[in-house]
């Protein structure tokens, strides 16, 4: 059997669609592929979101990453690409 040690990151910069103040995240499209994995693999996770809502506004069934894996949430304005 081959044992490989897991990769560990100091920081993860993750983009999500929505978050609440506790850091629970909902992703959009392909961000769901590696966003949760990077949140779990890093020591410090910084998330940029387009919409930060109050606690309880996110449907529990839609939450992909729990707030225990998120250290900071930064709300940004959506970028318009013309």
Contact 44, 76 (CB under 8 A): no
Average of pLDDT values for 61-76? Answer: 95
Residue 66 inside a domain? The answer is yes
The reported pTM is 0.80
Percent of the chain at pLDDT exceeding 90: 72
> What is the pLDDT, as a whole number, of residue 4?
85
Is residue 82 pLDDT above 80, yes or no? no
Range of the domain at 56: 9-75
Whole-angstrom distance, CA of residue 52 vs CA of residue 43:
22
Whole-angstrom distance, CA of residue 73 vs CA of residue 24:
10
Residue 31 inside a domain? The answer is yes
Percent of the chain at pLDDT exceeding 70: 100
Residue 29 inside a domain? The answer is yes
Overall domain count for the chain: 1
Residue 1 inside a domain? The answer is no
Q: Tens digit of pLDDT for each residue in 2-30?
A: 888 878 889 999 999 999 999 999 999 88
Residue 64 inside a domain? The answer is yes
């Amino acid at each position: 059997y081959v044992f490989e040690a897991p990769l560990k990151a100091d920081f993860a910069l993750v983009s999500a669609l929505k978050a609440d103040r506790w850091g629970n995240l909902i992703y959009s499209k392909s961000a769901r592929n590696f966003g949760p994995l990077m949140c779990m693999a890093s020591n410090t996770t910084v998330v940029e979101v387009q919409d930060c809502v109050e606690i309880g506004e996110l449907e529990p069934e839609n939450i992909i990453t729990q707030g225990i894996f998120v250290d900071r949430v930064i709300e940004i304005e959506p970028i318009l690409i013309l």
